[in-house]
Amino acid sequence: MKLGITKQQHLDLYYYMRLNRAVEDTMVKLFRQNKIVGGLYSSEGQEAISVGTAYALERKDWLAPMIRNIGALLVKGVPPRDIFTQHMAKYTSPTRGKDGTSHFGDLQNLHIVSPISMLGDLIPVMTGVAMAGRYLGHQIVTMTWIGDGGSSTGVFHEGLNFAAVQKAPFVLILENNQWAYSTPVKKQVPLENLADRAKAYGIRSYTVDGNDVGEVYATTKKAVAQARAGDGPVLIEAKTMRMRGHAQHDSADYVPGAMFEHWRQRDPIALHEKFLRKEKFLDARGQAEITAKIETLLHQERDFAENSPMPPPEFADSGVYCTGDDCHKVSAVWQRSKSEVSPPRSGSTAVWSVKGFGSGKGSSGGTAPIHFGETRDQAADRAGGEPAAALGKKPRKKSASTAKRAVRGKARR
């Protein structure tokens, strides 16, 4: 069986990808009816990434989606009505109508951190969540996503370096969808694989076909296991294509038509459906049942959203800022003994030992100094007056006359 994935897992991945697209198709209709009050961003053609990566997480793990990761929310357990009401700014939405896009989360139950519009900022945030989980003994892995354009921000590099140094149990999914708004990847990054950016921070990276949901899931599953085992963060670049403009207002006229056509032939849902039929995991009857299930669910969820009220006027000045426990109470859930992270067990000797101190390989292949804080005289003092020995050089042999003068000097003293 391909990639060691069970039949049911393959069918689950297919269902969530289709649900992802159906939810977004429904929202396009609502947008055109002027029922969505904010921006609307499509993940058409990228469903395999959101679904395949989130499906690789355990229920206890944490994620932070971006604007094109509705599939990850659905896999995590967010009902479509929450997505509809959120974009329609209804009073029944997760933010009670305070936001008209995708900025909502669920810290208590589903372990979802709200998106941050400043691209890259979620990387240090989710690194911090990963470190907190390790400190509390939760054995969790955290995950977030970033686009090809977002990988050129300063906080992307700062956050990834921070995660690497801390060996955080964190997986970063880099969605290379070919365009940073209207800027093609080749115009912003002189790399064939954006995954190579991980090399600068000494962490693992993988490059996958972002339109093959089975490959995305299997690779992410391996990365999650490595991060959970304490091997540090992992970067996965998923190559795909953004099949719509940046948002509904963008017609994407700057994208060559031939490019769209090439990727249209590689639609992730169609590719996986073809695989399922080849493996005899799906037939016409099974496909019809999935279609009916999705249509019934979305009809109910859309009706709920459309019939939900808008926020009352008197609610406008409340809920804008968190005022403490009366807003929502978040407290640490310890799953390890506090004595492990308290003195004396948490103490360590404040002495650093650096392997290879003194020199290392330079870019030319020769030996290059690493540490410049020690002068020749200091090295000599530390070595008991033998500067040549301290600096790693063979001392010169003393002559016979020099040795005799040293003996006569000691006798006079």
**pLDDT score for 359:** 62
Which residue carries 């996965």 as its tokens? Answer: 236
Question: What tens-digit pLDDT sequence spans the chain (413 residues)?
Answer: 457 899 999 999 999 999 999 999 999 999 999 999 888 999 999 999 999 999 999 999 999 999 999 999 999 999 999 999 999 999 999 999 988 888 999 998 999 999 999 999 999 999 999 999 999 999 999 999 999 999 999 999 999 999 999 999 999 999 999 999 999 999 999 999 999 999 999 999 999 999 999 999 999 999 999 999 999 999 999 999 998 988 888 898 999 999 999 999 999 999 999 999 999 999 999 999 999 999 999 999 999 999 999 999 988 888 778 788 877 777 889 999 999 999 888 887 777 666 656 666 667 777 666 554 444 554 555 555 544 444 444 545 555 555 555 545 555 55
Domain boundaries, the chain: 2-315, 359-412
Which residue carries 């100094």 as its tokens? Answer: 369
**pLDDT score for 374:** 46
Pairing relationship of beta strands 367-369 and 142-147 according to DSSP bridges: unpaired
Give the rounded distance of the alpha carbon of 91 from its chain centre.
31
Q: Which of 168, 136, 174, 38 is nearest to 336 (CA)?
A: 136
Q: Which of 177, 165, 97 is nearest to 131 (CA)?
A: 165
3-state secondary structure 12-32: HHHHHHHHHHHHHHHHHHHHH
**pLDDT score for 393:** 47
Q: Which CATH fold topology does 2-315 show?
A: Rossmann fold (3.40.50)
> What's the pTM value of the predicted model, to 2 decimals?
0.84
**pLDDT score for 368:** 66
- Helices 213-228, 7-32: crossing angle, 10 deg rounding: 110
Q: Find the length of the chain.
A: 413
**pLDDT score for 348:** 78
Cα torsion 284, 289, 290, 292: sign: positive
Q: H/E element holding 174?
A: strand 170-176
